[in-house]
Structures are given as C-alpha cells and as structure tokens.
Amino acid sequence: MTWFVDGKLGTIVTGTWIRGRIGQGSAVYAGGDRYDGGFANNDFHGKGVYTSSDGWRYEGIFVDGDSQDGIITEPNGKTYKGSFDDIFDN
C-alpha cells in the first residue's frame, strides 16, 4: 500500500495484511527512514528495526508505536543498550 500526501509520495508499506491492517512488514518513509518488523493496529509493535536516513538504527521492542528495550547504533558504530521509552514520533 502506498500513501500520497498532497499529491506526493508518502509512505510505502509492504507486508502481510489481515483485514486491512498490516501484521508484519516494512514501511519506507518519503524522507528515507525505514522500519522493518511487527505492526499492530497500524503502529510499530513487537520486534522491529528502525533505520534513519541519518544513519542511526534502533533494534528492539515496540509497544503500540512506542520504543521500549533495545539497542541504538550510531553511524560511527557506537552502540547503546537499554530502555528507550518512546523515542519515535510516528
């Protein structure tokens, strides 16, 4: 499924769809960010990986769109492991 905002390409979402909602898949945003993993009620949910267009990456658990426990990797390779409550505004 592809969304258009003001006639411009928005978010491209691919994966397994059940009753109009995605369960497992990928979302690629117009700005270049990407999410791969689980969804529930069209929010990030379960295990997933979010990669920003700036080069940092979060791999971990999401609950109803909010980040929880995981690992953040900076573009230089430095990693941080812990609880990252709601670092995403999706």
Contacts of 64 (CB under 8 A, 6+ apart): 40, 41, 43, 45
Alpha helices in the chain (DSSP H): none
Taking 3-state DSSP, the helix, strand and coil percentages for the chain, each rounded to the nearest 5, stand at 0, 65, 35
Provide the residue-wise pLDDT of the chain in tens; the chain has 90 residues. 554 444 445 677 777 767 777 778 888 887 889 999 998 887 889 999 999 999 999 999 999 888 999 999 999 999 999 988 767 654
Q: What pTM was estimated for this model as a whole?
A: 0.79
